[in-house]
Chain A
Amino acid sequence: MRVFMLGWEFPPFISGGLGTACYGLTKAMDQLGMKIIFVLPKAVDSSCASHVKLLTPSSVSNQREVEGSSLKNVKFYSIASWLRPYTDRRGLKRGLTRTEGNKEGTGEFITALENSVSDDYSRDMYTEVHRYAALATELALQEQFDIIHAHDWMTYPAGMAVAALSGKPLVVHIHSTEFDRSGEHVNQMIYDIERMGMHAADRVIAVSYFTRNIVVNRYGVPVEKVEVVHNGVERNGNGGEWSLSKTGITKGEKIVLFLGRITMQKGPEYFLQAAKKVLEVMDNVKFVMAGSGDLVRKSVEMAAELGIGHKVVFTGFLRGEDVKKIYKMADLFVMPSVSEPFGIVPLEALENDVPVIISKQSGVSEVLIHALKVDFWDVNEIANKIVAVLKYPPLEVTLRNYGNFEVRKLRWKDSAEKCMRVYAETLAAVARKATCLL
């Protein structure tokens, strides 16, 4: 079986969990011997690609074929595009800079916020999505495959086009919905694309029951069409050494970590309000917010307003080694997401021996037992639990040990196997339908 897979980001160029998920899933499928043609809508700078080898441009002029050195069954195509998975109101310019620069992986710090000019991004997005679809269709003509697998809304038009052209079944994978990203203020264009993709698809894969509910209730997809495949987590070694001096954090200070895009969806304000409460009863704590997003500036201001500016450190976007380093420093990870389809980051935190507090409004809370769970709005309870972890060592030890053990059981291999089962079922259903028509 060959899969024509439409993704949009891949390590090391990731701005959120989607790239991590696509990588984990593809890698596990590769190890299971699945043949994959992976189309990426991202320009990849060769100097940054640590494990991706760039080949000479292929026949299609504005596409570059890359090959993951470790993934022998996966063929990568990268389509130059401005596509960004998370519609950041800061505009596209910065997104491009991030893709091209930052070889050291130091991430962008909040000082780099300036070039945040936002003009009519949705129109540009719309054009981009369809340009990507056109190029992907062109690519598809040259390839042989049995099934199409599209990850999140930006690839759905491409998925639908390729399906129409090839007559092959389409599986769409929902890593997040417009309701997760924007609350009730949905972008109608994105919602329409999402809905169209879900209805056009032969099967829908949701990353959690939480997300399946949204897909069923908000998009009117029949429940039997939606399969839940939870994400896994990549096993990594331990991180390097991290110098404390740069961050103004002294030894003996506890570190509570927020890691993720600083956007409405992730609930940064609840993190800060909880921090404020924690600092009322404890002093030797620092709160680190690692990530970028449209609420960074607002969060900095909010920290200042709450009078805890000196206790909150903003690191900007982190990747690779820096992420490992920050995990190594952290005593606790908090994810107060307002709406989180899955949430891979807590799994990574546990993988790195950091206990986690996660919002009950997240898909990952369906698979984790050894985590503290809170309602994202319950600032008092978040603070209560933060203090408890920092104050009662046996709690931290138990969460860490059992959590780390638990996370080992959440393998991408299982997710990949489940996806492959969905493929097989879809193909069988399509074949049945064909026989009926005959």
Chain B
Amino acid sequence: MASICFYFQVHQPIRLRHYTVFDRDDKYFDDHKNAFICRKVANKCYLPANRLMLDLINKHKGKFKISYSITGVLLEQFQSYAPEVISTFDALARTGCVEFLCETYYHSLSFLYSRDEFIEQVNKHSAMIENFFGQKPRVFRNTELVYNNELAGLIEATGWFDAIITEGADHILGYRSPNFVYHPNGCGRLKLLLKNYALSDDIAFRFSNRGWSEWPLTADKFGQWVNAVNGNGNVVNLFMDYETFGEHQWEDTGIFDFLRHLPGEILKNPDNDFKTPSEIAKTYDAVGTIDVPHLISWADTERDLSAWLGNAMQSSALHELYRLEKKIKKSSDEKIISDWRKLQTSDHFYYMCTKWFADGDVHKYFNPYDSPYDSYINFMNVLNNLQNRCNMRIASEASQKQTCGKNQTDLQAIGY
């Protein structure tokens, strides 16, 4: 028996506008660019892909199942710029064949810096998904599949989740296969689903690569690879960015045709089926525990944090950002808190990565800046302004209180 488990990551950051040290206003985000990209990707990917998924689910009468993790910052952008996308996701949710996962609302690295903030964001995202799609998420995935034992422990302790997802990195698996369900080390109940990166990346990265020996990849061929897992595993976890369909792999590569035929090919073999992550966790027992003492992620060949924390600029920007947490929350100003949280989106730090000069196109493709230095300068200028705003806000509150207090003393002095 091989169960195919699709999970698609759906995310767009809220990009910053060009913000110099001479700017004084609190408009940090490039509304125009964000709207433009959101609509562009909606037309190239989200809308056609959602329509296709809906067709496939109807066609296979509930046998085709998928799951999504849509970030809070993207849902917010959909609301403003492309509300029709939310309707199509909602239609998918109503089929009963689609599961929505939970992550940090702001697609942040908060787990690394503040557990309080992390839990707040998980809560906020979970509430939003329930509100939008009528289901309370039971499976958690952390930003960029950043993961270690501690994260699993924290997620189990919340009691909200049945399973957690991460990268099936070679160095954590050793001789073992990602095609089984495991327990995280130290967890009793929580199950661990590992990405089969070889098969996932065949679709996400290699699909249109004409230099690849398996090009062109057909649904039939892929179906055979999946069949080969039969007998050697229970699950095939295909986790990838949803933008693979139409945005990373353009329509003219045939990616949509591939997807259209894939479920049929896979279901040809009666031993195969599709399951959502929750169903996987329910159906299969863990075959062992996976120990991940060090942090891993699904990024680059290193599968570590170096894409976000690889140089001095990135680590200082992150530290400075989270150092403000107490102060920001003390201001209890909604706008300030929300701006601060939008700055936490991991993409801002990814843009500062100096690795991409060597690592090539993947980083470049996603980067709205000419260089990592430009992105750092921009981010720090914004952060500085935010900090000043926050300080002023707190100071004005304090002086108001002081004035109130003073008035009271004055009143007391005159005998009231």
Q: Which of A19-27, A82-90, A239-247, A385-393 contacts B (4 or more CB under 8 A)?
A: A385-393
- Across-interface contacts of B20 in A (CB, < 8 A): 380-381, 383-384
The minimal Cβ–Cβ distance linking B388 to chain A, given in whole angstroms, is: 12
The minimal Cβ–Cβ distance linking A391 to chain B, given in whole angstroms, is: 8
The minimal Cβ–Cβ distance linking B251 to chain A, given in whole angstroms, is: 33
- Across-interface contacts of A370 in B (CB, < 8 A): 354, 373
Contact between B377 and A373 (Cβ–Cβ < 8 Å)?
no
Among A388, A392, A399, A402, the one with the most B-chain Cβ atoms within 10 Å of its Cβ is: A392
Partner of B376, one of A277, A381, A384, A392: A392
Chain B positions 270-316 with a Cβ under 8 Å from a chain A Cβ: 311-313, 315-316
- Across-interface contacts of A399 in B (CB, < 8 A): 373
0/1 per residue, A266-310, Cβ < 8 Å to B?
000000000001001100000000000000000000000000000
Contact between B316 and A392 (Cβ–Cβ < 8 Å)?
yes
Asked if B154 is at the interface (CB within 8 A of a chain A CB), the reply is: no
Residue of A nearest to B354 (CB): A402
A369-B357, A402-B354 known; A387+B21 contact, CB < 8 A: yes
Cα–Cα distance between A392 and B320 once the two chains are bound (Å) = 11
Task: Give the contact-size bracket for chain B.
Answer: 10 to 19
Among A281, A372, A384, A402, the one with the most B-chain Cβ atoms within 10 Å of its Cβ is: A384
Contact between A395 and B370 (Cβ–Cβ < 8 Å)?
no
Asked if A60 is at the interface (CB within 8 A of a chain B CB), the reply is: no
Residue of B nearest to A389 (CB): B377
Contact between B377 and A385 (Cβ–Cβ < 8 Å)?
yes
Cα–Cα distance between A402 and B21 once the two chains are bound (Å) = 24
Chain B positions 323-362 with a Cβ under 8 Å from a chain A Cβ: 354, 357
A385-B377, A395-B373 known; A380+B22 contact, CB < 8 A: yes
The minimal Cβ–Cβ distance linking B5 to chain A, given in whole angstroms, is: 40
Asked if A127 is at the interface (CB within 8 A of a chain B CB), the reply is: no
CB < 8 Å A-B pair total: 61
Task: Give the contact-size bracket for chain A.
Answer: 20 to 34
- Across-interface contacts of A369 in B (CB, < 8 A): 357, 371
Contact between A398 and B381 (Cβ–Cβ < 8 Å)?
no
Contact between B311 and A372 (Cβ–Cβ < 8 Å)?
no
Asked if A397 is at the interface (CB within 8 A of a chain B CB), the reply is: yes
The minimal Cβ–Cβ distance linking B326 to chain A, given in whole angstroms, is: 22
- Across-interface contacts of A394 in B (CB, < 8 A): 311-313, 315-317, 376
Partner of A281, one of B22, B317, B371, B374: B22
Partner of A397, one of B21, B22, B312: B312
A373-B370, A397-B312 known; A392+B377 contact, CB < 8 A: yes
A281-B21, A380-B22 known; A388+B312 contact, CB < 8 A: no
Asked if B380 is at the interface (CB within 8 A of a chain A CB), the reply is: yes
0/1 per residue, B363-391, Cβ < 8 Å to A?
00000001101101100110000000000
Contact between B312 and A372 (Cβ–Cβ < 8 Å)?
no
- Across-interface contacts of B354 in A (CB, < 8 A): 370, 398, 402
A369-B357, A392-B377 known; A398+B21 contact, CB < 8 A: no
A369-B371, A380-B22, A395-B373 known; A388+B381 contact, CB < 8 A: yes
Q: Could you list which residues of chain A lie within 8 angstroms of chain B, going by C-beta atoms?
A: 277, 280-281, 369-370, 372-373, 380-381, 383-385, 387-388, 391-395, 397-399, 402
Q: Could you list which residues of chain B lie within 8 angstroms of chain A, going by C-beta atoms?
A: 20-22, 311-313, 315-317, 354, 357, 370-371, 373-374, 376-377, 380-381
State the 10 A-B residue pairs at the shortest beta-carbon distance, nearest first.
A384-B20, A394-B316, A394-B312, A388-B377, A387-B21, A394-B313, A398-B313, A398-B312, A384-B21, A397-B312
